[in-house]
Structure 1
Amino acid sequence: MARSWTRLHEHLGHRPGPLTFDMVAAAVTDKLAESDDLDWKEKLPSFAPKPGIWNEFAKDVAAMANTRGGLLVYGVSDQIDLVGVDLVSADKKQMLSAVRNGIQPYVSGVDFIELPAPGGSGPDILVVDIPPSEMAPHFQYGWEQKDKDRVTFNAPFRVNDDTFYMTEHQVARAYQERFARRATADTLLKDRLAEVTEVVMSESEDSHAWLVVATLLTRPVPQLVPAPTRSEAAEILRQSTVSAARIGGARPAVLSNRLADDVRVGLRRWIGSNFLVPDRRSRGRGALIELHHDGSVVVCVDVSTHLAAGDDTAVDTLVLRTVAQEALVLADLHRLHRAPDTAVEITATVATTSTGRRLVPFDYDWGRMEVVEGTRRPKRLLPSSSELAPNADGEALRECAREVASGLLHQFGMEPAAD
């Protein structure tokens, strides 16, 4: 899936959105110079085998993936003139084959954007969008002639408009950075959970339990991408209400009933809540959402029920399942706005202020909310995690939400009710 923020967006001062023919033409008119994330190409790549010659397309893809991603724009000369290419001749299947067979590990997310000239008069443009890779370093495999044929490989990377090959210590550092990215992402997701849990616990009574869902993009949003505006954040929340209702079936909405369009500014985030502002506190179930500028999302909802559970805390499992689905829809829409080409990691837990109270699951039985018989009553639940793919549809969203909710409900020893 194509990225919504590129070198061309930055140069032209555009907000995140699809790449267009007019954007490329404007950059060419401005004679925008090549850089580590932009490479003008006059002709389409050739795949005819030539002794001693690397596959240039695979090299270019690997180099950009190893750096910070970028665009290969076919149809622009070295003098930065718009000369165009024949889109019919663009063998995208062969290009993907070169990526699959010539680069290890595989570079995922490479996208082809055909940009026909307005009016069909030519010249046309082909853009290959290469995302920055969390799996770097990528090695380009090939063969060369020296005394005799031999297979070899290198890890290319870009510096400004030139391509170089990593030395041993650069390869070692690239691996260290890969492992560090993974550790940093895990830590950030845990910190998001801990941070918001502390907030809701300070506002919670002993008999209350909160579902806390935190999501994180697997690939960071580029720093120069403009922060979402208040109106954009409110629109994402509104769209999530519509989308959640569409895929949620007969379930009554939870977030939309409590947050409406009240979105307020926070620290590098937009916040919607019905309990954080004292004079706007509403009765009933507390809810909180955070749309972070880095694409992460936090959703907290009081999943308690006031039905009798003795000295323990009653948990409304229907609300838990509903909010898990609404949170996934919200995270997906926020991802589409910030970085549509990346996956979303999700972690959820149930938090309560009283460690001495047990959690008792309640669900509907013939229209009445009752204790689910024969279940365990734990004092705490371990986090449940999943991942949402970049191209997730409604069914994928439902399945991912079900996986997250099931990971929590299974700890009560119960199977979630069928949707």
Structure 2
Amino acid sequence: MVRQAAADHLEESDDLDWKEMLPQQPRDGRWNELAKDVAAMANTRGGLLIFGVQDQTTTLVGIDPQEINKQQYHQWIRNHVQPYLPDLDIFELSDGEKTVLVVDVPASEMAPHFVYGTAGRDKEQQAAVVPYRDNDHTAWMAEHQIERAYRDRFARVGLAEEELQRHIDFTTKTITAQATAPSAWFIAVSRPQRPLPRGAYTMSRDEARETLDAAKMRARLLHGSALPPGPLVGMGDDTRLNPRPGLRRWVCSNLERQHNREIITELHYDGTVVMAVNLSWMRGREAPPGPEDDLPVSERLVMACCYDFVASAQELQRKLRVDSTQHLTATIISPDRPRALAPLTSYWGDGQESVPAHARRPHYIEHAHAGLSPTSADEEGRSTADELITDLMNQFGL
């Protein structure tokens, strides 16, 4: 594609910038050009910086792959661009004869991004500007443009938070209407920073089934320890492997059944994942709490839920090729009315769980938040799940 674009003399635009030479170390008093160009595209609508093509003639000259230092390029961007750009991708392309370096810059939901550097006449003085792409060149935002960019950012952030809460509220209503007895519930929602647009993709039942099965396997790799069966196992193969259609989503729910733990898992076409799990008791095996009893919350089960939830978010992210950060929110609720939540834990690994004397029994749990970068590796998935677990269970004094 790069070779064809160069041969067709594709002109530079606000989302394409040809560069003949690799990024260079900035001289004293000058901006870091790579950081400036990356911030400019992130502040506009995203785009590609391609190194190895002359900008005037669009001649594909290539670059020396031995001179590429992606670690240094990422370091420059981290040091000079604020806020941080987590979704940036830098990679090489080669046809065996010539190599180009591609910097793929997504349109940022956190725009405006400032570029920091030293002022030309005073090396000790830090200066900051906000670049943007104006057709084929970079310009600087005026004050009123920066103000508008901040208003747009706050509106996007507010809308994203509203969408997450909307999913939590709807799931809570579903549980309240269908749950068979008082119980504490784990509810979690993962939503891409840039969800797939409506109509862009319709996931088939087979794809949903494959995604959930892959998530079950990934969850085992993530926790790597003896945990009770999580929701992806607990709902049973007959439910997990036979998702039912919902509103632009696939739904696995066993609320209508009379056995196993009550579980809901939803895979949305836009990349959203919803998971809800009854933490307090299992139908057919345990007696539900009484009308005035505290609602038990097993720490081991919360851990299993967090790992299954993160694994589901990762697998759907991969399946849909979502290229933006995932925002994850998890909480524990008592859907029928505020009830004391009693944490169960064990100091002996897989020993019997009980409520510690020092534990708090809150009636409300604050939402725990985390993020997942695109195509996140196992280590990031593991640390994200651990972060959610810690933030939830610390509220019990554990």
Q: Quick check: TM above 0.5?
A: yes
**1:291-302 correspondence runs (5 A):** 291-302=267-278
Distance 1:58 1:310, change over 3 A: closer
**1:13-162 correspondence runs (5 A):** 23-28=1-6, 34-47=12-25, 49=27, 55-78=32-55, 79-92=57-70, 95-96=73-74, 98-100=76-78, 102-117=80-95, 120=96, 122-141=97-116, 153-162=128-137
Partner letter of residue 101 of structure 2? L
Contact 1:308-1:314 at 8 Å conserved across structures: no
- Whole-Å Cα distance in 2 between the matches of residues 267 and 330 of structure 1? 19
- Whole-Å Cα distance in 1 between the matches of residues 160 and 288 of structure 2? 40
Question: Mean Cα displacement is larger for which, 247-256 or 189-198?
Answer: 247-256
- Does residue 397 (structure 1) correspond to residue 381 (structure 2)? The answer is yes
C-alpha displacement at 1:379, in angstroms? 6.9
C-alpha displacement at 1:103, in angstroms? 4.0
- Whole-Å Cα distance in 2 between the matches of residues 180 and 84 of structure 1? 42
- Whole-Å Cα distance in 2 between the matches of residues 403 and 342 of structure 1? 20
C-alpha displacement at 1:236, in angstroms? 1.9
C-alpha displacement at 1:176, in angstroms? 1.9
**1:268-417 correspondence runs (5 A):** 268-275=248-255, 281=257, 283-305=259-281, 306-307=286-287, 309-311=289-291, 312=293, 314-317=295-298, 318-338=300-320, 342-355=324-337, 357-362=339-344, 371-372=354-355, 374=357, 378=361, 380-390=363-373, 393-413=377-397, 415=398
C-alpha displacement at 1:327, in angstroms? 0.8
TM-score w.r.t. structure 1 length?
0.76
Could you report, residue by residue, the CA deviation over 1:135-192 in whole angstroms, capped at 9, with x for unpaired residues?
A: 422233567889xxx9865322124434332121001111222333333332222222
Secondary structure of 2:207's counterpart equals helix
- Whole-Å Cα distance in 2 between the matches of residues 403 and 145 of structure 1? 43
- Whole-Å Cα distance in 1 between the matches of residues 208 and 35 of structure 2? 39
Secondary structure of 2:316's counterpart equals helix
Name structure 2 gaps, 5 residues minimum: none
C-alpha displacement at 1:401, in angstroms? 2.7
Once superposed, which parts of structure 1, at least 4 consecutive aligned residues long, lie more than 6 Å away? 143-146, 364-370
C-alpha displacement at 1:392, in angstroms? 5.1
Contact 1:375-1:412 at 8 Å conserved across structures: no
Distance 1:393 1:184, change over 3 A: same
Contact 1:204-1:353 at 8 Å conserved across structures: no
- Whole-Å Cα distance in 1 between the matches of residues 44 and 304 of structure 2? 41
**1:170-189 correspondence runs (5 A):** 170-189=145-164
C-alpha displacement at 1:197, in angstroms? 1.2
The count of residues paired between Structure 1 and Structure 2 equals: 380
Contact 1:386-1:400 at 8 Å conserved across structures: no
Instruction: Give the root-mean-square deviation of aligned CA atoms.
Output: 3.6
Could you report, residue by residue, the CA deviation over 1:229-269 in whole angstroms, capped at 9, with x for unpaired residues?
A: 22333222111100112233222433333232223333333
- Whole-Å Cα distance in 2 between the matches of residues 361 and 142 of structure 1? 50
- Does residue 229 (structure 1) correspond to residue 206 (structure 2)? The answer is no
- Whole-Å Cα distance in 1 between the matches of residues 117 and 377 of structure 2? 38
Distance 1:377 1:154, change over 3 A: closer
Partner letter of residue 242 of structure 2? D
- Whole-Å Cα distance in 2 between the matches of residues 82 and 224 of structure 1? 38
Contact 1:34-1:40 at 8 Å conserved across structures: yes
C-alpha displacement at 1:194, in angstroms? 1.0
Contact 2:280-2:288 at 8 Å conserved across structures: no
Contact 1:205-1:353 at 8 Å conserved across structures: no
Secondary structure of 2:331's counterpart equals strand
Contact 1:355-1:380 at 8 Å conserved across structures: no
Secondary structure of 1:67's counterpart equals coil
Contact 1:384-1:404 at 8 Å conserved across structures: no
Distance 1:304 1:293, change over 3 A: same
Contact 1:144-1:152 at 8 Å conserved across structures: yes
Distance 1:112 1:186, change over 3 A: same
Distance 1:210 1:107, change over 3 A: closer
Could you report, residue by residue, the CA deviation over 1:311-349 in whole angstroms, capped at 9, with x for unpaired residues?
A: 326435133321122112212222344466644333222
